[in-house]
Structure 1
């Protein structure tokens, strides 16, 4: 087995072990804890993408409002 697959299996085993221990301590099902981590990762990634789009929109809006005119007759 290659090193990459061994590394992948190691991280999967440790990650599932963490989720199962956390679920055991909280008295929940393991699937619920895993789904929570999956959903929260999508939410946080989507949140920063939304911030990126908002900043881009504000910068474009600023350029439209503050158009540079070379003379008075460009109005």
Structure 2
């Protein structure tokens, strides 16, 4: 079972790093810099969607507070 995990890891490292290495060669950069760029971009985009989610949740909560239904006139 553990050997299977190592084989999958080796496959993805070999092919995934190959993409970064080729892109780095094409751009004239170091492969390590390209890999770090992809890591940072993935965290940044995740953070953007989380911020949008929090903004929408706050907006909906604010809307519910403003537009609450009152059962009678005396609920002020």
Question: TM-score normalized by structure 2?
Answer: 0.93
1:1-75 to structure 2, matched below 5 A, reads 2-75=3-76
Unaligned regions of 5+ residues in structure 2, if any?
none
Unaligned regions of 5+ residues in structure 1, if any?
none
Question: TM-score normalized by structure 1?
Answer: 0.94
Per-residue deviation, 1:4:
2.0
1:1-41 CA-to-partner distances (Å, cap 9, x unmatched) read 62122011100111111101100001111111011000000
d(CA) in 2 for partners of 1:39, 1:69: 48
Aligned length in residues? 75
d(CA) in 2 for partners of 1:61, 1:9: 50
